[in-house]
Structure 1
Amino acid sequence: MHVTQRKNPALKFLSSSIYDTHILNFWAQKINPLWSMDQMLGRITKKEHVAKGMVSLTVECNKRMNYGVAGQHHPVIVEIAGRRLERTYSLTRLDATHVQLTFKTVSGGTVSTWLADMAQIGDIIEFGQPYGDMLCEGYPEKDVVLLAAGSGITPMFSMLHQLAHTGQLAAYHMTLMYWVKHVDEAAFKDQFETWSHQYPNFKYQIFCTQDEGAAARLNEQHVEAYGDLHEHAVFACGPSGFVNSARDLFHAARLFKSEAFTLSPIEITEEGTVTVTLKKSQKIFVIPKNRSILEALEEANERPVYGCRMGICNKCSCNKISGVTTNITNQAEHAEPGSPVRICVNSAKSDLVLDL
């Protein structure tokens, strides 16, 4: 009994200090900044401008990295002035330990500006778990149309790079249509040209909408070139207005997947207020109908969990016990009880009970 009593304090000390992941990470990273018990970390090894306003970082990843599937998105976490900030980006896997992170610098964007202007070779960034289902892998369709606008090219490039790297691109009839404002804003042009020569079934077009002889934006004529779409898979990424147009125009496709990297909500004309009850916290709020539920709760000093704020990552998703919501990107109404709702892209049309 005496021996057991002497061991217990030692075991308690070990479990509360030596085996605490935060302490282990702290001391391990004194030796190697990439070492971690539980974090997916990367070290910037290269930085280059790939188009006007677009930067690519080559990042060496640690052994904890979950690379996901080409076309998915990763949360990227950086520390700026003592604050941990998270944004979502597509990654391209280059080899066994390196990824390419390509992003567009956004005016007033804290993270993109820091990555473009302040981040240095050797700096460490953290990744979250990948998510998203806009990917070629796992689908049988081999006639594929890729639609990209602006930085929506990054998941498309990731998918194409992976297919080319594994030799699978030859098995696809792949067409990429890529919209930018000016030709110098088009990223990866040389690589697309190389692939078009290497793989005859891969074709691409770049549309510059604000250069001389401005190209038309996505419209019915771009659809007519494909005739019967019932055997095609269509992937679209860009601003939500572009994605909504693509969804309407290519509705006949056998498979349609899309993601919007900016939220351009349809104007909410609903007036008045509703009551939102948060079941777990037993809080009740009166919120306006013309706001997303997330924004309305934040205005009421509530702090729900969220991620991308664009309806992609599902971090803000919760169970809607009762009530009617309206999707602010397409005006679709959802009245089914007991269904998930992403509060960043839905407004309340009636009184709600949420499992929050």
Structure 2
Amino acid sequence: MTTLSKSNTWLNQLSSTVFDRSATDFWLQQINPLWSSSEARGQIIARHQIAQDMYQLKIKCNRRMDFGEAGQHHPVFVEINGIRYERSYSLTQLDRQHIALNVKHVHGGLVSGWLCEKANIGDYLSFGKPYGEVSLDHFQSKRLVLLVAGSGITPAFSVLHALEKQNRLEDYQIHLKYWASTQREHAFILPFKQWQERYASFNVDFYSTQAQSNTDNNDTTSQRLNATHVQSIQDVHDCAVFACGPSGFVETAQSLCTDARQFQGESFYFSTPSITDSDSSEIELINIHLSRSNKQLQIPKGQSILTALEARNIRPQHGCRMGICNKCACPKVSGSTQHIANKQTNHEANQLLRICVNSAQSDITLAL
């Protein structure tokens, strides 16, 4: 412990005596690629598939890592073909030096595809500061209902894993309801079933929305989230409900859980791919004015503004691309936009706009 503390102190002293932190980090990483004067870095030491479309990467982190609270999200930075990309993921802390990064392989996703298939053991990632309000401190009851769909399972698993590691899982009455398209897409089945056998206070139900039922239409194992699932929860009025998944799933959960003691939702949306030149004749184009850079261009109506701008080689600041982190938010000076997932429109001027999950519906001006 003394040796590690001395090493950390030496890094701080070195970085404070050199004006250019980038130069400092360059020389430090010639000695050890994990070292940095200011940046949280990690090295991939293992990877395995945990579901049909999800992989788990075990990562060794340096001493700059801020693990945050279980259930929060971290900006994750990767370099692919010399270009640095940022995405957001919910991490699971395994011990004082290692985390698990659970990644859903999104069809056509550049970063998720790289992490799941192309990254090598020994490759390095960087991490930003954690954010988000999903943590045990925000739940107002020890009776927890977790409604999750798809990759929404990752923050829920992070919370449950932390409770189990701290020997506190049995202190909560927990009912996890977990939806995926098919049974093969459910992750963490083994630990969930082990916890259910070990703790009388933990229950888990798995649902497959595309399963073919051989029984009647009341077979809830193959149904999407509906009132029947909420009615099966005992004393929901005394429960804290956390829902995480696609925006439509979370909106349905909120509408069904009005009697819950507390409801907290976290939804995400994945930006659509860029529209190719061959498609351009079939879509309506919208004029967009970027006031700060004094640029005029046209983008497709209905497409994520962020994706459309990137297709024109304009690279606005962004993070998660799912409407969670707000890094892409910029002032909308004028014009009408629509949220791609929930279809809510915004006609007000001088409003902050998350361009990763909104599309242009009329000519617009952005302060970019």
TM-score bracket, shorter-length normalisation? 0.7 to 0.9
> Whole-Å Cα distance in 2 between the matches of residues 82 and 285 of structure 1?
28
Deviation at 1:29, TM superposition (A): 0.9
Contact 1:240/1:263 (8 A) holds in 2? no
Corresponding residue of 1:262? 270
After superposition, what is the alpha-carbon deviation per residue over 1:207-232, rounded to whole angstroms, capped at 9, x for unaligned? 23444536212112112223664443
Indicate which of 324, 340, 343 corresponds to 2:352.
340
1:186-335 aligned at under 5 Å gives the runs 186-211=186-211, 213=213, 215-226=222-233, 229-253=236-260, 254-260=262-268, 262=270, 276-284=288-296, 289-298=301-310, 302-335=314-347
Contact 2:302/2:340 (8 A) holds in 1? no
Deviation at 1:149, TM superposition (A): 2.0
Corresponding residue of 1:97? 97
> Whole-Å Cα distance in 2 between the matches of residues 232 and 205 of structure 1?
17
State yes or no: 1:153 paired with 2:165.
no
- What amino acid does structure 1 have at the position aligned with 2:27? W
Deviation at 1:101, TM superposition (A): 0.8
User: Which range is displaced more, 197-206 or 107-116?
Assistant: 107-116
Which runs of 5 or more structure 1 residues have no equivalent in the other structure? 1-13, 265-270
Deviation at 1:324, TM superposition (A): 4.4
Deviation at 1:170, TM superposition (A): 2.9
User: Which range is displaced more, 339-348 or 307-316?
Assistant: 339-348
**Pairwise CA RMSD:** 3.1
Deviation at 1:322, TM superposition (A): 4.7
Distance change in 2, residues 1:20/1:301 (3 Å): closer
After superposition, what is the alpha-carbon deviation per residue over 1:127-172, rounded to whole angstroms, capped at 9, x for unaligned? 2222222333333232222122222211110011112223333332
Distance change in 2, residues 1:262/1:27 (3 Å): same
Secondary structure in structure 1 of the residue aligned to 2:134: coil
- What amino acid does structure 1 have at the position aligned with 2:184? D
Scaled by the length of structure 2, the TM-score of the pair is 0.79
> Whole-Å Cα distance in 2 between the matches of residues 186 and 102 of structure 1?
13
Secondary structure in structure 2 of the residue aligned to 1:137: helix
Corresponding residue of 2:131? 131
Deviation at 1:283, TM superposition (A): 4.2
Secondary structure in structure 1 of the residue aligned to 2:136: coil
Q: How many residues align?
A: 337
- What amino acid does structure 2 have at the position aligned with 1:257? G
Corresponding residue of 2:47? 47
Distance change in 2, residues 1:164/1:221 (3 Å): same
State yes or no: 1:37 paired with 2:49.
no
After superposition, what is the alpha-carbon deviation per residue over 1:301-343, rounded to whole angstroms, capped at 9, x for unaligned? 5432222222112111023345543322212233555442212
Which runs of 5 or more structure 2 residues have no equivalent in the other structure? 1-13, 214-220, 273-282
- What amino acid does structure 2 have at the position aligned with 1:262? F
